[in-house]
Amino acid sequence: MTYTPNFSDPRNRRRAMSAIQAVEQYVKPRQVYSIAQSQRRAWFGTLSNPLSNWLDSHLLATADPHWNMNTGQCIKYRLREQNLHELKTQLGIHSTYTPTSEIQTQIDTGDFEYELKSDRWYTTAQFINSRVRGPLLANAGYRYAYDIEAAAPTILLQRAQQCKIDFEAPALQAYIDDRTSIRNQIANEASCTTDQIKRVMNALLQGSIISTWGNNKLFCALDQDYALIDRLKQSQTLTEIRADIKRLWQCLRDEFPRDKSIDKNGSLRCRRLSARQKSAYYRQFENQIARVIQKALRKQKLRFLWVHDGWQCDQAVDPVELIQKVRRQTGFVIKLDYAVFED
Summary mean pLDDT of the chain: 90
Per the structure, the complete domain to which residue 139 belongs is given by 101-151+279-340
Instruction: Tell whether the model's pLDDT for residue 62 goes beyond 80.
Output: yes
- What pLDDT score does 268 carry? 67
Q: Is residue 2 part of a domain?
A: no
Are residues 270 and 169 part of one domain? yes
- What pLDDT score does 34 carry? 87
Measured CA distances, 140 to 107, 127, 160, 252, 314 (Å)? 7, 17, 41, 43, 8
Query: Could you tell me what percentage of the chain is helix, strand and coil, using 3-state DSSP and rounding each to the nearest 5?
Result: 55, 15, 35
Residue 151 binned pLDDT confidence (cut-offs 50, 70, 90)? very high
- What pLDDT score does 95 carry? 64
Instruction: Give 332-342 pLDDT, tens digit per residue.
Output: 999 999 999 98
Residue 140 binned pLDDT confidence (cut-offs 50, 70, 90)? very high
Question: What average pLDDT score do residues 86-100 get?
Answer: 81
Q: Is residue 314 part of a domain?
A: yes
Residue of 79, 109, 86, 66 lying closest to 5 (CA atoms): 86
Are residues 214 and 231 part of one domain? yes
Are residues 177 and 136 part of one domain? no
Q: Is residue 241 part of a domain?
A: yes
Instruction: Give 156-173 pLDDT, tens digit per residue.
Output: 999 999 999 999 999 999
Are residues 219 and 245 part of one domain? yes
Q: Is residue 158 part of a domain?
A: no
Question: What average pLDDT score do residues 305-309 get?
Answer: 93
At which of 278, 306, 327 does a domain end? 278
Q: Is residue 330 part of a domain?
A: yes
Instruction: Tell whether the model's pLDDT for residue 231 goes beyond 80.
Output: yes
Are residues 333 and 248 part of one domain? no
Instruction: Tell whether the model's pLDDT for residue 1 goes beyond 60.
Output: no
Measured CA to CA, the distance from residue 178 to residue 58 in angstroms comes to: 39
Are residues 85 and 23 part of one domain? yes
Question: What average pLDDT score do residues 240-264 get?
Answer: 87
The 8-class DSSP code of residue 255 comes to G
Report whether 22 contacts 41 (CB < 8 A). no
- What pLDDT score does 130 carry? 81
Residue 96 binned pLDDT confidence (cut-offs 50, 70, 90)? low
Q: Is residue 157 part of a domain?
A: no
At which of 69, 91, 113 does a domain end? 91
- What pLDDT score does 343 carry? 64
Are residues 174 and 131 part of one domain? no
Instruction: Give 207-226 pLDDT, tens digit per residue.
Output: 889 998 877 888 888 888 89
Q: Using the Cα atoms of residue 238, residue 240, residue 245 and residue 246 in order, give the sign of their dihedral.
A: positive
Are residues 283 and 145 part of one domain? yes
Residue 330 binned pLDDT confidence (cut-offs 50, 70, 90)? very high
- What pLDDT score does 117 carry? 86
Are residues 191 and 240 part of one domain? yes
Measured CA to CA, the distance from residue 314 to residue 301 in angstroms comes to: 10
Number of domains, the chain = 3
Instruction: Tell whether the model's pLDDT for residue 37 goes beyond 60.
Output: yes
- What pLDDT score does 181 carry? 96
Residue 108 binned pLDDT confidence (cut-offs 50, 70, 90)? very high
Are residues 321 and 285 part of one domain? yes
What is the share, in percent, of the chain residues with pLDDT greater than 90?
A: 60
- What pLDDT score does 260 carry? 67
Are residues 105 and 77 part of one domain? no
Residue of 31, 30, 58 lying closest to 40 (CA atoms): 58
Instruction: Tell whether the model's pLDDT for residue 29 goes beyond 90.
Output: no
> Number of H helices and number of E strands within the chain?
15, 11
| Coil, strand or helix at 302 | coil
Residue 58 binned pLDDT confidence (cut-offs 50, 70, 90)? very high
At which of 278, 301, 325 does a domain end? 278
Residue 55 binned pLDDT confidence (cut-offs 50, 70, 90)? very high
Q: What are phi and psi for residue 78, nearest 5 degrees?
A: -135, 160
Q: Is residue 306 part of a domain?
A: yes
Q: Is residue 4 part of a domain?
A: no
Are residues 188 and 120 part of one domain? no
Instruction: Tell whether the model's pLDDT for residue 269 goes beyond 80.
Output: no
Query: In degrees to the nearest 10, what's the CA dihedral of 206, 209, 213, 218?
Result: 50
Specify the pTM.
0.79
- What separation, in Å, do the N-terminal and C-terminal C-alpha atoms of the chain show? 50
